[in-house]
Amino acid sequence: MSKEIGKVLGTADAQPLDFWIAVPSEEKLQLDDIVLARRELAGGETVTLYGIVDILAARHEGARLETDVFLSVEGVIPLTHSVRAHVTVTRVEPEIFVPPLPGAPVLRAEGADRELALFFENMRPFPLGLARDGEPVYGNFEFLDGSRGAHINISGISGVATKTTYATFLLYGIFQSGLLAGAGTNTHALIFNAKGEDLLWLDKPNAKLRLEDEARYRKLGLKPGAFPDVAIYAPVQKNSQALVPDVGQRLDATGYCWSIEEFCRQRYLRFLFAEGDDESSQIAAVIERVESRLAQSDVRALDDFNQLVEFIRTNLDDWAGGYATGTRAAFERRLDASAPRVGHMIRGAMEDPDRHRLNWKRAQVTVIDIHNLHDRAKRFVIGVVLKRMFEDKEQSGTRVPLAFVVLDELNKYAPREGWSPIKDVILDMAERGRSLGVILIGAEQTASQIERRVVANSAFRVVGRLDLAEAQQHEYAFLPAASRARAGILKPGTVIVSQPEIPVPLLVQFPFPAWATRHSEVEAAVAAGAGDPFPD
């Protein structure tokens, strides 16, 4: 039952979309609390206004000078305290937009009232986390699965905002909540591991999970544990004929690479040139011409990438002779620079090429390790894998089953300025992925440096801790001023989430990962409460 916590204030204007309330000193009201007020109309109809507290202010009543506070403390002047709270309206039922009247009771929304305030009653819910009152917060899956929208964008400074941790929590909730029902078996997620080996242990339970963390999962309707079906891939080692994965402690990972023949037939050359380029550059045309000729060439006799480079150089004048000498020279320089960075992942004939081919359908969750690779090689791997995934989904011709892609450092791969093949793939995913069931969960430190169309096509916007200067950029205009200020002091494990149906971004807290995020968390259980629950 909702409980009264104040009255609509009479000394400030109450409007249909926002109003102030006076809060008695004995009541504990805080930011993000959900409240409601009612207005009885002349015809006997009752209008209910639901809202969220986004500003709280306390002051002395009766004070005229700043120094009166000292006299009040000393008992010289009898002053009283007052607390007022600003409420932004999230929902009006029925939709008759009238202001609440001063003096009207304001109730804390609980139970069914809370669900109405946050539109939960008509959602296909998936867990976003817990509100500050410990109650679940949900997102509407129809705005994620492509039915009415798609994609999630997560912004925040490195190490503190826990962007990839939140991305994996969202995936865990989607897979384990029963939301997907029978489609869950064929739904896949592809995660690129770009920092350390943190994401290579998703299939192992977290030994540092505490009892209170387990309770938070159960509050969200989730059973805490590891991801049950995970495939781990790592690039093959350099300077080794054996196709051994180049990874530290996850020795059961599968080493991945591509054959020269596949590289040529599938036209992957463009992803060796995936750094940003001027859109007027002619190099893209040269790349396309060379790719076309390679796809028609017999390259089975080539044993390694260096031989492929020499094969291209020998034929370049014939294949691209119509372009300026400087353009062809720039093409050759970039091609040569790729050899030491990417060459070990492009091999000649292999005994079992299928074993080392990245198969994103092999498991429910596929983790592709790229953290040890040079930036050029990272771009190559991401571009090739996403291109192949997108082509597979296009050929299937159906939106379901869904395929999720978790990609950090989006500012590197889809920057605001310039052109690159990988940027084209990500833009295609952002704009057409909804219709194909390819859902991008992208993360970056600074949304202001991302191609605008990638961010604009994201139905869910998530903000962790931000640099305050970054928070003032236009890309965060969806945040009220108070939320922008709060973004500068958010703790790990806390984010602000904006979703289409709720007009006010919600602050949510998500549980400590139930799956290991580093090798130390796979080891024997530690004493309850030991360790930082959200390490950098």
Task: Say if 52 falls within a structural domain.
Answer: yes
- pLDDT digits over 82-104, tens only? 999 999 999 999 999 999 999 99
Q: Are residues 217 and 146 in the same domain?
A: yes
Q: Are residues 487 and 508 in the same domain?
A: yes
- pLDDT digits over 478-487, tens only? 999 889 999 9
Q: Rounded to an integer, what distance in angstroms lies between the CA atom of residue 525 and that of residue 209? A: 9
Residue 198: the pLDDT is: 87
Task: Say if 186 falls within a structural domain.
Answer: yes
Residue 183: the pLDDT is: 84
Q: Are residues 505 and 424 in the same domain?
A: yes
Task: Say if 111 falls within a structural domain.
Answer: yes
Task: Say if 408 falls within a structural domain.
Answer: yes
Q: Are residues 302 and 376 in the same domain?
A: no
Task: Say if 526 falls within a structural domain.
Answer: no
Contacts of 105 (CB under 8 A, 6+ apart): 4, 6, 7, 37, 38
Domain CATH code at residue 404:
3.40.50.300
Q: Would the CA dihedral through 50, 56, 57, 61 be positive or negative?
A: positive
DSSP 154: E
- pLDDT digits over 433-449, tens only? 999 999 999 999 999 99
Q: Are residues 85 and 138 in the same domain?
A: no
The domain of 172 spans: 125-255+350-521
Residue 374: the pLDDT is: 94
Q: Are residues 219 and 280 in the same domain?
A: no
Q: Are residues 248 and 393 in the same domain?
A: yes
Q: Are residues 319 and 390 in the same domain?
A: no
Residue 28: the pLDDT is: 92
Task: Say if 532 falls within a structural domain.
Answer: no
Q: Which of 300, 317, 347 is the last residue of a domain?
A: 347
Q: Are residues 367 and 463 in the same domain?
A: yes
6, amino acid identity: G
Q: Are residues 369 and 484 in the same domain?
A: yes
Residue 502: the pLDDT is: 93
Residue 278: the pLDDT is: 54
Per DSSP, helices labelled H in 24-162 are: 68-73, 112-117
Q: Which of 293, 317, 347 is the last residue of a domain?
A: 347
Q: Are residues 250 and 314 in the same domain?
A: no
Contacts of 87 (CB under 8 A, 6+ apart): 18, 19, 20, 21, 35, 37, 51, 52, 53, 54, 106
Contacts of 530 (CB under 8 A, 6+ apart): 208
Q: Which of 287, 315, 347 is the last residue of a domain?
A: 347
Q: Which residues of the chain register pLDDT less than 70? A: 1, 161, 275-280, 523-536
Residue 482: the pLDDT is: 87
Task: Say if 535 falls within a structural domain.
Answer: no
Q: Are residues 297 and 186 in the same domain?
A: no
Task: Say if 528 falls within a structural domain.
Answer: no
Total number of domains in the chain: 3
